Structure 1
Amino acid sequence: MDRPSRLHDRLNAAEELEAILENLPSEKSEIVSFLNSFSYRLMLIEKELEQKIDYWFADGQFLCIMHNIFSNRKISRLSFDFSSAAHRVFCFCRENRLRVAFIGGTADEVTAAIEYLQDAYKGMEICFYASGYFNDERIDALHNSIIESRPDVVVTGLGTPKQEFFAAKLCEAADTRTDGKAMLIFTCGAFISQTASSGDYYPEWVKRYNLRWLYRAILEPHVRIRLLKDYPAFMVLFVREEFLLWLRRTKRLT
């Protein structure tokens, strides 16, 4: 099957997460990642990497709105936090006795996050965890350590596009090793660091009114920069992508 001509056509509806989980364990490793207005621009550049991701979801209301304006197939937000995908994934792993590995944050942050998750999801088997701060020389050794721990699910929070590159190489390593085991890999952005700082990062009222973007903008300076600089640039690129598609279709009809 040909790839969709627009990147946002690859976005899945939030409800499709359940079918992905029900397919565990699968015969080959797969990657689930999340696009927002910032990472969307990066993936337009990293086309080869974008195609290595098996499932994309929209992490943010703004991207959902833009997609739904230009597409007949409507989607809703799904991101890796406790109000959305993370809670469902962890409950599923606990219920089905699946092994989970975590990569991300500083050494102290990932340790604190693991302690929180072990208390919040008692019975979930965490087979491996490590800091997300490492140099390129350690990637192969880290991949080997993860594979040898034999996880069913891997959660990696390294920031885009580093986490997608890491996940793609981990997939290749797991599927080519004779002792490898197929795994489902989720990218999670800053989830591990956020969990280490306050458990469920977003207050209930923030989740209820879909104000995650504003909450993060108040607390995190780099998010404010994205809102003022990167989001307008995303709108320009998104509309440009639609315009170029319209031109191609028009030329085919003439």
Structure 2
Amino acid sequence: MEPILFYGVPSGCSFGSIVALEWLDQPYRLCRIDMPEQVTSAAYRRINPVAETPTLMTASGTTVSESMAIMNHVGARGIDKGLGFAQGTPEFDRLNQVLAYLNTSLFSGFAPLWYTLEHDVEQPAKDTLRAYGTAALTKAHADLEAMLEGNEWLLGQQRTLADAYFIGIARWTKYHDVIDRRNYPRVQGLFDKLEADPAVQFAHAIERGEPAHSSGSFKGEVSLEEALGLLKQVA
């Protein structure tokens, strides 16, 4: 069977994994997981016990969870396309470094903002959380602006899976009006370039449930029940 990516909606960080699979251009399927209801269900916990997306079910029926792990899995299959690099090389270490930075700094900077949006938080606590998130994202954008000096992409002159992960997170500024990306012209330039990428446009359409135009590697969506059935077959 083709690998299946379980992606979360609305606006899950799994967006970057969809982009990565499109860039890889090898057959795959998608399984839409509604958050928070379906992602916390007993059925989905059979795929990912910690009830988070994304998770990738490989062709052999094993599962890989967490965006960084999925990016490295895809990267190992996309070395010939420059999406990833051989383990033990300086390029591999650099890619891991940037992926980790995006996860620990850019992603986590949004965490307190998401909390205030999704929970009933009293105003003093809300102000504190927003201030913390704003400070973290301001620093992260400044760091990324410096990282991009002289570079077309996050790792240099060719796109990698770090760029796919970046666009899935960077788009969250539309929900949280705490920084103006235009103050960081290199970051804004990378964002705009990625937003125009066919794989990114495909991922947006998939999330919105609209007709989506793939590179040709996307083989359709399966339901969670269908995916669990396939998991039984390969177990």
After TM superposition, the score normalised by the length of structure 2 is 0.29
The structure with higher relative contact order (CA 8 Å, sep 6+) is 2
